[in-house]
Structure 1
Amino acid sequence: MWVFLNWALGLRELGCDVVWLEGIVKGGWTPGHAEVSQRLADLKTRLSPYGFSDRIALWSNDDQLVPRHVAEQCIGLEAAGDADLLVNVNYQTPAAVIERFRRSALIDIDPGLLQTWLSDRSYNFAIPLHDVLFTIGETVGQPDTKIPDVGIEWHYTPPCVALSWWPPVPTTETAPLTTVSHWVSDNWLRDETGQLWSNEKRTGFIPYLDLPRHTSQILELALQLRPEDEADRTLLRKHGWRVQDAWMVAGTPWEYQAYVRQSLGEFSCVKPSCVRFQNAWISDRTLCYLASGKPAIIEHTGASRFLPDHAGLLRFTDFKTAQECLEAVSTDYGKHSRLARSLVEEHFDAKNVIKKLLERALS
């Protein structure tokens, strides 16, 4: 939820009146009225600490999915007519909803993947028309990019973090380097020859399976593991990784934040698509670590105009450089902690990022 909270909080800090737009989708499985009601209650609970619990509007691709007593607890979609802009980060938002707004902006948070889904007919994927389309991938739409050209004008925007909600927090030297992640997702893509390749986080981590045995740092993964993934949990622990259940340690926005803040920093591999596409991507999760004054050691996702390789954010390309990054953080943690915070203040402050996005989207 912090992907969306950082944008919503940044908009509000700029003085915007923010409505949280949430969708209920009828698909292969349809939630019943009782479940819709419970999910709205859960959403309100999660949004309450951030002041959005009474600012929720619902859309649905089937009017029967929204019971009257649920709709009465939300802001009506007719309020869209008064809004200056829809900032959309949900590719499933129907055209009929988007058309209610005077202006609409889509934010692509899956650079390379979204363009692949759009360009390959086998995915049967499309997005409705928006007035302007943004992407957090620096190389999308650029010359010599490895990302498919789908004939759309993409405007780059950095991802953002609401700095006032993520102040620097000290931690103990014995704390682990952590990350929070999916593991197995059955995410497969086709290459130019039609061959399938895995885009799971598991695939990204396997080449670094033995890394805990080659560093003095404690490496911990908070993963969404299924019962059938128990063999992987055993394998990771056998090679020295500490493994937590992501739902147990980061199941709510505040637990997620606490988990990040009590970490020494982040260590994470990326989905193979980020390496393959060289999209210069950085995770919203990583920004939360950096804003908290936690150095982040992340797999390299391609040349960037401003992402450093060895200053607060350290980017590795193979097993050896991963070791070197871990050693660098261990040797001069204080320096990298300060540089981590400075990096987000300069390039990813939600107020600055969103101000530029609004200027372009509303022009």
Structure 2
Amino acid sequence: MQGPSQKLRIVVLGYIVRGPVGGMAWHHLQYVLGLAALGHEVHFLEDSDDYPSCYDPSKHVVDVDPTYGLAFARQAFDRLGLGDHWTYYDAHGQKWYGPGAEKAQRFCDDADMVINVSGVNPLRRWTMAIERRLFIDTDPVFTQVKHLTDRAKRDRAAAHNRFFSFGEALSTAAWSGPRDEFDWQPTRQPVVRSLWSNSKPQPRGRFTTVMQWDSYPAVEYSGASYGMKSESFQAYLGLPGRVDEQFELALGSVTAPRERLRDHGWHLVDPLAVTRDPWTYQSYIENSKAEFSVAKQGYVASRCGWFSERSACYMAAGKPVVVQD
């Protein structure tokens, strides 16, 4: 792999300790791994934020205790050879955790760039001083509505000075959603292909995906409603009975109509077993025939051009992807 013309010191702000599940972890880890593979000096930094946000899948609770997530992160970073390249700041106790805890603030002092993936970390004084502050929007239309309706979220975004979105159409005439004040440029999920290259074809496997039925409530803005995958899925409910293929969902959300889905031929599996760690998630993808998934109704309605980080992993594993536009 050809290295960069200039080696940079880059802070990646992400969501692994607070969101210790396989797919979420790959989403953020591949920014760190990819930038390091390009020759940059990279440090992963996560902030607890100022409200309870630590998910513990073993207890099904969200609170301020990062114990489960810290162990999850340590295992993931150690296995990927990045053992000392991560830090977690707990604002509730004003404590630093992780093998990089003692050097994290010094790294920020000399950093060239901070990349706030999904904008899920506040910029503290140690990151506000970094010259280039990138906001990566991974939830287009919903992000823009937040900025237009929630002053605090708008102000948090405005602390950045570069803006990128998984919604590739936000800066084009195709976009029909609301426009906020920021100049969004298109980007996609980075994938470290060498970590996904050992997958074999599974001609007798199933079309699969990992999804939430309802990630959060639908939102409305200026007379338009932007909903979840639950709204998009209705048109495809009868698909298993129309084609000679098997379909499987690793399905989360208490609102999902599981019995109705089974009655229509959908196979359902426990999403927590699939996403227990990055490698159970990767194995699930590699043992699939292909991906089939819908997009959030809000993505479809706004014509945002969203491209899924999960689908990028299926493709890197050599799996065909059939996803709603």
Give TM-score, length-normalised by structure 2: 0.81
Q: CA deviation at 1:224?
A: 1.5
Cα pair distance change 1:52/1:299, threshold 3 Å: same
Match of 1:260 among 285, 291, 305: 285
Find the aligned partners of 2:241 and 2:267 in 1 and give their Cα distance: 12
What SS class does the counterpart of residue 266 from structure 1 fall into? strand
2:84 matched to which residue of 1? 54
Conservation of the 8 A alpha-carbon contact between 1:177 and 1:267: yes
In the alignment, is residue 294 of structure 1 matched against residue 319 of structure 2?
yes
Q: Which structure has greater helix proportion?
A: 1
Q: How large is the RMSD of aligned CA atoms in angstroms?
A: 2.4
Find the aligned partners of 2:320 and 2:147 in 1 and give their Cα distance: 35
2:43 matched to which residue of 1? 19
State the AA in 2 paired with 1:108: D
Cα pair distance change 1:251/1:72, threshold 3 Å: closer
Conservation of the 8 A alpha-carbon contact between 2:116 and 2:135: yes
1:212 matched to which residue of 2? 240
Larger Rg: 1
Q: Which runs of 5+ in 1 are unaligned?
A: 301-363
1:94 matched to which residue of 2? 122
The aligned runs of 1:83-232 (5 Å cut-off) are 83-97=111-125, 98-121=127-150, 125-126=153-154, 127-143=157-173, 145-167=175-197, 169-193=199-223, 197=225, 199-226=227-254, 229=256, 232=257
State the AA in 1 paired with 2:258: R
Aligned-pair identity (%)? 27
What SS class does the counterpart of residue 84 from structure 2 fall into? coil
Cα pair distance change 1:215/1:72, threshold 3 Å: closer
Find the aligned partners of 1:28 and 1:3 in 2 and give their Cα distance: 22
Cα pair distance change 1:236/1:42, threshold 3 Å: same
Q: CA deviation at 1:99?
A: 0.8
**What is the CA deviation profile of residues 147-197 of structure 1, one whole-angstrom value per residue up to 9, with x for unaligned ones?**
32212222222322111111152233210010001123332110422x7x4
The aligned runs of 1:8-87 (5 Å cut-off) are 8-27=32-51, 35-62=65-92, 64-66=93-95, 70=97, 74=101, 75-87=103-115
State the AA in 2 paired with 1:207: A
Give TM-score, length-normalised by structure 1: 0.73
Kindly tell me the number of residue pairs found equivalent between the two proteins.
Answer: 290
Conservation of the 8 A alpha-carbon contact between 1:57 and 1:77: no
Cα pair distance change 1:287/1:144, threshold 3 Å: closer
Cα pair distance change 1:143/1:61, threshold 3 Å: farther
Find the aligned partners of 2:100 and 2:123 in 1 and give their Cα distance: 24
Cα pair distance change 1:73/1:164, threshold 3 Å: closer
Conservation of the 8 A alpha-carbon contact between 1:88 and 1:105: yes
**What is the CA deviation profile of residues 246-292 of structure 1, one whole-angstrom value per residue up to 9, with x for unaligned ones?**
11122211110000000000000110011011111110110111111
Match of 2:263 among 207, 213, 238: 238
State the AA in 2 paired with 1:189: V
Find the aligned partners of 1:268 and 1:201 in 2 and give their Cα distance: 9
What SS class does the counterpart of residue 147 from structure 2 fall into? helix
Conservation of the 8 A alpha-carbon contact between 2:251 and 2:269: yes
1:341 matched to which residue of 2? none
State the AA in 2 paired with 1:27: Y
